[in-house]
Chains A and B, each alone.
Chain A
Amino acid sequence: EAGVAQSPRYKIIEKRQSVAFWCNPISGHATLYWYQQILGQGPKLLIQFQNNGVVDDSQLPKDRFSAERLKGVDSTLKIQPAKLEDSAVYLCASSFLSGTRAGELFFGEGSRLTVL
């Protein structure tokens, strides 16, 4: 089965510019997550979707970050304007909503952002 697809893999921008990341989850996975992973740290949740609704966005810096999952399938994460501290890998993950594997997250390869 196809895994979680993310693009672009790498992006370099200057501070105050904008950037968008795209994620296509595994087919049939109702839950989609965006995590931020700063070098040397574990992933930190930014936002969780269930189908096209937001379940948890409490740690999303809403003054600069936005995310959408309009049709309950693929998702876009946007940063505008970017700050130096946004340099990180942005990981998309998906999971089943229910069943024995509902707790297992499947991650994409991530999008590495460098803000100069």
Chain B
Amino acid sequence: TQLLEQSPQFLSIQEGENLTVYCNSSSVFSSLQWYRQEPGEGPVLLVTVVTGGEVKKLKRLTFQFGDARKDSSLHITAAQPGDTGLYLCAVKPFKTALIFGKGTTLSVSS
């Protein structure tokens, strides 16, 4: 079983649309990270959320950590082609390295 479930798996939208992707788990975590991976590159950290209910904004990206610290969402406003990539959520259970979800592949066309 996958520790982190990400949905949707694929998303194809037009430039200017809004979207939300989700990361869910049945376990509680002290923090959760979101990474973006562009084709041919390694993942790059976007944000770390640590407090239940926390909302963080990074330009047009809004990240929320669930109150129970089991889930998170990433909302993109007015998507642009440069937002295209694989969005990965990740957590670090006790005494293990970072574990990633399978990711959401986003394609934004102009």
Q: Which residues of chain B come closer than 8 Å to A91, judged between CB atoms?
A: 42-43
Is residue B75 within 8 Å, beta carbon to beta carbon, of the partner chain? Answer: no
* Nearest opposing residue in chain B for A43, CB measure: B100
CB–CB B43/A43 < 8 A: yes
B95 smallest CB distance to A (angstroms): 8
Known: A4-B42, A42-B88, A110-B42. A105 touches B96 (CB 8 A): no
Residue B45 is within 8 A (CB to CB) of chain A in the complex: yes
Q: Give complex CA distance A41, B98 in Å.
A: 15
Q: Is B101 an interface residue when CB atoms closer than 8 A count as contact?
A: yes
A-B CB contacts (within 8 Å), total count: 51
The interface bits of chain B over 66-110 (1 if a CB of A lies within 8 angstroms of the residue's CB, else 0) are: 000000000000000000000010101000111111110100000
Q: How many interface residues does chain A have, given as a range?
A: 20 to 34
Chain B interface, number of residues (Cβ within 8 angstroms): 21
Q: How far is B105's CA from A33's CA once the two chains are assembled, in angstroms?
A: 24
Q: How far does the alpha carbon of A93 sit from the alpha carbon of B43 in the complex, in Å?
A: 9
> With contacts A55-B97, A105-B45, A110-B41 known, what are 17 further pairs, Cβ within 8 A?
A40-B105, A41-B103, A42-B88, A42-B90, A42-B100, A43-B43, A43-B88, A44-B100, A45-B96, A91-B42, A93-B42, A103-B92, A103-B98, A104-B48, A107-B44, A109-B41, A110-B40
Q: How far is the CA of A88 from the CA of B34 in the complex (A)?
A: 22
CA distance A33 to B92 in the complex (A): 14
Q: When A42-B88, A109-B40 are in contact, do A104 and B97 touch as well, CB less than 8 Å?
A: no
